[in-house]
């Protein structure tokens, strides 16, 4: 009887071990399956800096009227602020445009006069009608709507031209079918008058001082005042932060040069005054010793 009981216990233990092993195996299989079929990887989006890259100016897009235009036809020998958005974006693109508008209204420069703006939709399904509406909304809040209408271009295009432009400037975006939206980064780029990428500014707010210096820098001296030129000697664009920072050594050198010039000027003025004083004394002595005056 005792032997039968022991045998039954052994069988029970064996069955339990088999069940435990099966459970562990099932859990491991489910875990592996969860890793394979789990949440999708995050979208591959962002902005990669490609400073100095030449934008293909032969790329064609549609302007607000639906007319096909080349980027080269819109440059007009001016620096360009470039933004890649899509007009039906539910949130982020609108914030980028509002950040641009806020900075533009503070700049001492005017769109169309000193610089151009290209706002390009990266959604090939969007139409020029949407571009017209977006442009109208932006210009209503811009300080000079007439000049802005000539220089702020809201463009749409086909997939090929959009992708070439985005690849050139390092703008990565991805369509998410489940949400029927695009995932993308936020920021703007500056182009030189000949279409080379010169600056990146990230986020949705763009300090007026940084954008102003960036445009002066990108224009290669074609716009800006003497004060802006002096500021560019003291400030340097930092690609990592997308902002301008004070360069202490440059400031010290400029201060040293200014000090030397000031001292040289002061010495020169003092020498001139001393020469004039001596001439007056000589003239006075000559007059005092004149025979006519003595009589």
pLDDT tens-place string over residues 158-217: 999 999 999 999 999 999 999 999 999 999 999 999 999 999 999 999 999 999 999 999
CA 117 from centroid of its chain's CA atoms: 12
Q: How far apart are CA 249 and CA 48, in angstroms?
A: 30
Strand partners, 69: 61
Q: Alpha-carbon distance 243 to 206, whole Å?
A: 9
Q: Which H or E run includes 287?
A: helix 248-288
What does the alpha-carbon distance between residue 163 and residue 62 come to, in Å, rounded to a whole number? Answer: 15
- Which has the higher per-residue pLDDT, 279 or 39? 279
Strand partners, 184: 173
Q: Is 202 helix (H, G, I), strand (E, B) or coil?
A: strand
| pLDDT tens string 240-274 | 777 888 664 444 444 455 565 566 676 667 667 76
Model-wide pTM > 0.85:
no
Out of 19-23, 34-38, 96-100, 218-222, give the one with best mean pLDDT.
Answer: 96-100
pLDDT of residue 30: 47
Distance CA 170, CA 172 (A): 6
Task: Name the residue with tokens 């039954």.
Answer: 8
* The pair of three-digit structure tokens given for residue 278, joined into one six-digit string: 């001596």
Contact between 199 and 237 under an 8 Å Cβ cutoff? The reply is yes
d(CA 245, CA 210): 9
Crossing angle for the helix pair 226-234 and 248-288, nearest 10 degrees?
A: 120
pLDDT-based confidence at residue 289 (cuts at 50, 70, 90): low
Please say if the pLDDT value at position 146 is more than 60: yes
Facing residues of 237 across strands? 244
**CA distances for 254 relative to 50, 172, 225, 238, 248, angstroms:** 31, 41, 18, 20, 10
The full set of domain ranges for the chain reads 1-38, 46-207, 250-289
The answer, yes or no, to whether residue 43 has pLDDT greater than 50, is: yes
**Maximum average pLDDT range among 57-66, 229-238, 285-294:** 57-66
Sequence-distant (≥ 6) Cβ neighbours of residue 165 within 8 angstroms: 55, 56, 59, 84, 120, 171
Is the model's pLDDT at 8 over the cut of 60? no
Query: Which of 88, 75, 170, 89 has its CA nearest to residue 117?
Result: 75
To the nearest whole number, what is the mean pLDDT of the chain?
Answer: 82
Of the two residues 72 and 279, the one the predictor is more confident about is 72
pLDDT tens per residue, range 59-87: 999 999 999 999 999 999 999 999 999 99
Give yes or no for residue 24 having a pLDDT over 50: no
Q: Which structure tokens are listed for 163? A: 């992708």
The predicted pLDDT at position 96 comes to 98
CATH fold of 46-207 reads Glutaredoxin (3.40.30)
- Tell me the two tokens of residue 161: 């031209």
CB 200 within 8 A of CB 206: no
Give the pLDDT score at 2.
Answer: 43
Looking at the chain, the whole-number percentage of residues with pLDDT higher than 90 is 59
CA distance 222 to 215: 10
């Amino acid at each position: 009887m005792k032997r039968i009981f022991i045998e039954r216990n052994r069988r029970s233990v064996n069955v339990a071990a088999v069940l435990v092993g099966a459970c562990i195996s099932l859990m491991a299989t489910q875990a592996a399956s969860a890793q394979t079929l789990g949440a999708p990887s995050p979208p591959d989006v962002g902005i990669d800096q490609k400073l100095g890259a030449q934008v293909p100016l032969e790329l064609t897009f549609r302007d607000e009227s639906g007319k096909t235009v080349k980027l080269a036809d819109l440059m007009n020998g001016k620096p360009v602020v470039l933004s890649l958005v899509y007009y039906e974006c539910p949130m982020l693109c609108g914030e980028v445009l509002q950040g641009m508008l806020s900075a533009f209204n503070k700049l001492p420069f005017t769109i169309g006069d000193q610089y151009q703006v290209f706002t390009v939709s990266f959604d090939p399904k969007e139409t020029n009608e949407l571009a017209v509406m977006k442009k109208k909304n932006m210009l209503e809040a811009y300080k000079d709507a007439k000049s802005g209408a000539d220089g702020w271009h809201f463009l749409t295009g086909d997939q090929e031209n959009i992708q070439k432009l985005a690849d050139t400037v390092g703008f990565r975006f991805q369509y998410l079918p489940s949400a029927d939206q695009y995932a993308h980064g936020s920021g703007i780029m500056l182009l030189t008058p000949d279409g080379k990428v010169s600056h990146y500014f990230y986020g949705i707010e763009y300090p007026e001082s940084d954008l102003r210096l960036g445009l002066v820098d990108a224009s290669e001296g074609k716009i800006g005042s003497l004060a802006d030129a002096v500021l560019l000697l003291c400030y340097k664009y930092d690609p990592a932060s997308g902002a301008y920072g004070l360069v202490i050594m440059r400031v010290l050198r400029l201060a040293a040069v200014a000090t030397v010039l000031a001292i040289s000027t002061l010495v020169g003025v003092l020498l001139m005054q001393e020469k004039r004083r001596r001439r007056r004394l000589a003239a006075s002595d000559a007059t005092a010793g004149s025979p006519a005056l003595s009589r």
